[in-house]
Amino acid sequence: MISDMLKPENIHITERVSNWKEAIHLSLEPLIKGGFVTDNYEKAILESTAEYGPYYVLAEDFALIHGRPTDGVIKKQLAITLLREPIQFSEDSFQVRVLIALAASDSNSHIDTMKVLSNIFMDESKVSEMVHAKKPQQIYDMLIQMENEIREN
Amino acid sequence: MLKILAVCGNGLGSSFACQMTTEAVLREMGVEAKMDHIDISSAAGMDADLIISGKNFEKQFERISLKCPAIFLERLVDKNEIREKLTPVLKDMGVI
């Protein structure tokens, strides 16, 4: 369940960041502080970005920032940062406002979370709803509601 | 059954997201397939009928001799792009 992986206090709204590295750092901060990933996780993501480009930018306004379980994941967890001012991770990538930091402990056990997230990133109107959230709690409620809808179907 | 692999660098985030979007597209198209997601370093040895990955991985795939067709996406979770690129390949394969 997404509620097992996301704490309401790990959803933040930030006005702006000065560059994409700061965006990565900010998005991972709750996971590092909460002891869900080690410091190395951030370093590994920066290294992977140098190798593959911003592989975590999935759609306009939506990035799923993640590394490998072996990069320093202690326990699976999510954190969400909403930027009021979008950031671009490379010249040819989308502008992004929703940063979802994911710590996955293996390739499959976060499937429930991915189901919920996929209902958002596949649907521009849902991404837009998230982008325009006024308070972090609204984002949390939106995700929980989506999970309940998935369960009912 | 048709076996489709979504591939990315880590095999758990972007490829998982791409798998879920592709599954939604296949459902809409009425095509049955078994999908999985995997990291690029493990993809070479995998048995699949079709590979879906991001444009940023196209160069890496050139180094691997693939036994099956591959499509490369600008947007890993764009249902329209997936449908557009998947349709001709599935037609070639005689699936649709």
Q: Could you tell me the domains of chain B?
A: 2-87 (3.40.50.2300)
Range of the domain at A61: 2-152
The verdict on B7 touching A (C-beta cutoff 8 Å) is no
Residues of B in contact with A64 (CB under 8 A): 13-14, 17
pLDDT at A52: 87
Q: Does residue A65 contact residue A28 with C-beta atoms inside 8 Å?
A: yes
- 3-state SS assignment for residue A87: strand
A66 carries an active-site annotation: yes
- 3-state SS assignment for residue A142: helix
pLDDT in tens, A5-58: 999 999 999 999 999 999 999 999 999 999 999 999 999 999 999 988 999 999
Hey, which residues does B50 pair with through a beta bridge?
B4
Instruction: Pick the catalytic residue from A12, A25, A66, A132.
Output: A66
Tell me: pLDDT of B3 over 90.
yes
Residues of B in contact with A110 (CB under 8 A): 12, 16
pLDDT in tens, A57-110: 999 999 999 999 999 999 999 999 999 999 999 999 999 999 999 999 999 999
pLDDT at B67: 87
Q: How many domains does chain A have?
A: 1
Q: Where are the beta strands (DSSP E) in chain A?
A: 6-14, 57-59, 62-66, 77-88, 95-103
CATH of the domain at A110: 3.40.930.10
Contact (CB<8Å) A114/B16: yes
Name the residue among A113, A137, A139, A136 with its Cα closest to residue A127.
A139
Q: Does residue A127 contact residue A86 with C-beta atoms inside 8 Å?
A: no
> Over chain B, what is the mean pLDDT?
94
